[in-house]
Amino acid sequence: MSAAAGVLLVATGGGAAQGADVYNNVREVTDSATKAKHRLQERRVSAATIAELDSRLPNVGVAEVLASANHALKPVGSGQCAAREVKALPVKPSYSSGYCWDTGDATTQRWLPQGLTSSGDADNDGLWGTNKVILSGWKSNDAGFFDKYDNETGPTKFPNSRNLTRVAFIDANDPTAMKYRWVLLVVPTEGGANFDNLGANIGGMAWFGDKLMITAKGGDAHDNALYVFSMKHILQATVNDNAIGRVSGGYAAHGYQYVMPAIGSYGLSTNCGTATGISCAASMAVDRSATPDSVVLNEWQSSASSAIGRTWSFELAAPSEGGMPLKVNASGYADVREMYTADMSGVQGVLWYKDPDTGKRSWYMPKHRGGAGQQGIYYRRDAEGHRWTTCSGTDKADACWAAHSQDMSLWWNGKTVWSQTEWAANASGKWVDDTIAGWQSSVIRERVLFSVPLSSMP
């Protein structure tokens, strides 16, 4: 990375500046009706269904998935990452570690990195058993794909591309030699005698205790907002086949070795969107600075212009093997704990953090800019205003954050923020038709996984 000088700028409240700058306006939502519309109803898959599916396939643990890792993450200092991959990393605040993906995942047009979480969310000590683990969630790039690249012969759908969701289980024990294995997310069917693809559009992820939650706009007819999975239920496919579910001779998982079946979900009373006034959850994070622990969600607004949106939280229940992750009332509803509005333009990952020494609350909301080759903009907001950085060597003086960053996760033990970037498009910012010969040569690699110390995020 080229040397870059950075300075902290602060915009404080008061006068004309505050009225003109919506980034100062992080305001609490106290309207009970608005918060009530965002409550979530708990829906569990029956214990009998889960037990039936467990009986039909080998049930493995996280450690076994990690032991079978067959892809390498390459440190940016190893000389194995492309120049644009290195350039996609944050400049100010600077990254403390950065990694590029195995070649096929670095360039694929069929999958997009989205949600991120880790064993640093799951437990205070940052370990799952004896392992340090990072989870990176990717969605299949079928929805909207074909209006993003030029194909003179007309679009042809990817075979078996049906809103699939997969998670990279990353062995992070050795930061110089991280490796990963893919796990496909599925839903049980036929009372546990079968399973199918999730069929929902993942955005964010959060791991707490043994439960993995993902945001899932779309999904089944119950208007699900979150799906829930368990680290106690990772199953091994018995047949290597492109199908998903029961096939002749056993069960297949679209060529993947492992699946995680959903054990439950949380649903809204109706669809989210402008018509209902309910914000659609785009990303999520665990907030261990809250008492009790919470999970934080936020909506996304286009980066093209300033747009006020919401970020809100739910209280997490004490981890238990048989329980669900959100605290619910006697009627089975998880009520919104806190809700705020802010400029959400381009925000695709939010952290809430309350300093244990000062009691000061901060919201970290980097802005994802949509143009080709554009770095993001770093913002931290608090009661005093908002903070950003300036730097040199990027396309814009305040564009110092990672390019096209997604979900963020705070590794609590050590206070390290992890995130990842999304793009592997061409020079015009369009996805490439990977059925055309030589398509990989036009792909600009900008997908990276990285960490930044929380203390360096002013």
Average pLDDT, the chain: 88
Q: What is the predicted pLDDT for the residue at 438?
A: 87
Q: Which residues on adjacent β-strands are paired with residue 419? A: 408, 450
Percent share of the chain, pLDDT over 90 = 72
If one compares 386 and 452, the residue with the highest pLDDT of the two is 452
E-assigned strands of 221-335? 224-230, 234-236, 244-247, 250-253, 258-261, 264-267, 283-287, 294-298, 308-315, 333-334
Which of 451, 272, 457, 282 is CA-nearest to residue 378?
457
Query: 326: Cβ–Cβ under 8 A, 6 or more apart, which residues?
Result: 40, 42, 226, 266, 295, 314, 315, 316, 317, 334
Average pLDDT on 70-98 reads: 96
Average pLDDT on 154-176 reads: 75
CA 404/CA 371 separation, integer angstroms:
9
Tell me the per-residue pLDDT of 278-300, one tens digit each, with 9 for 90 and over.
999 999 999 999 999 999 999 99
Q: What is the predicted pLDDT for the residue at 14?
A: 30
In this structure, how many other beta carbons lie within 10 angstroms of the beta carbon of residue 239?
A: 13
Q: Which residues on adjacent β-strands are paired with residue 212? A: 207, 229
Side chain identity at 46, as an amino acid letter?
S
Structure tokens at 443: 């792909």
Most distant CA pair in the chain, distance: 72
pLDDT at residue 13 above 60? Answer: no
Three-state secondary structure string covering 277-310: CECCCCEEEEECCCCCCEEEEECCECCCCCCEEE
CA 453/CA 437 separation, integer angstroms:
42
Average pLDDT on 299-303 reads: 87
Provide the 3-class DSSP secondary structure of residue 354.
Answer: strand
pLDDT at residue 212 above 90? Answer: yes
- Across 275-279, 381-385, 410-414, the highest mean pLDDT is recorded for 410-414
If one compares 274 and 205, the residue with the highest pLDDT of the two is 205
Q: What is the predicted pLDDT for the residue at 12?
A: 35
CA 244/CA 215 separation, integer angstroms:
22
pLDDT at residue 9 above 70? Answer: no
Three-state secondary structure string covering 402-451: CCCEEEEEEECCCCEEEEEECCCCCCCCCCCCCCCCCHHHHCCCCCEEEE
Q: Which of 144-158, 219-233, 317-331, 374-388 has the lowest mean pLDDT?
A: 144-158
Give the CA angle between residues 91, 148, 304 to the nearest 5°.
50
Structure tokens at 15: 């006068």
User: In this structure, are residues 57 and 260 in contact, taking their beta carbons and an 8 Å threshold?
Assistant: no
**143 backbone φψ class: left, alpha, beta (φ>0; ψ -120 to 50):** beta
Q: How confident is the model at residue 250 (pLDDT cuts 50, 70, 90)?
A: very high
pLDDT at residue 235 above 60? Answer: yes
CA 429/CA 452 separation, integer angstroms:
26
Structure tokens at 12: 């404080």
Structure tokens at 453: 């110390």
pLDDT at residue 157 above 80? Answer: no
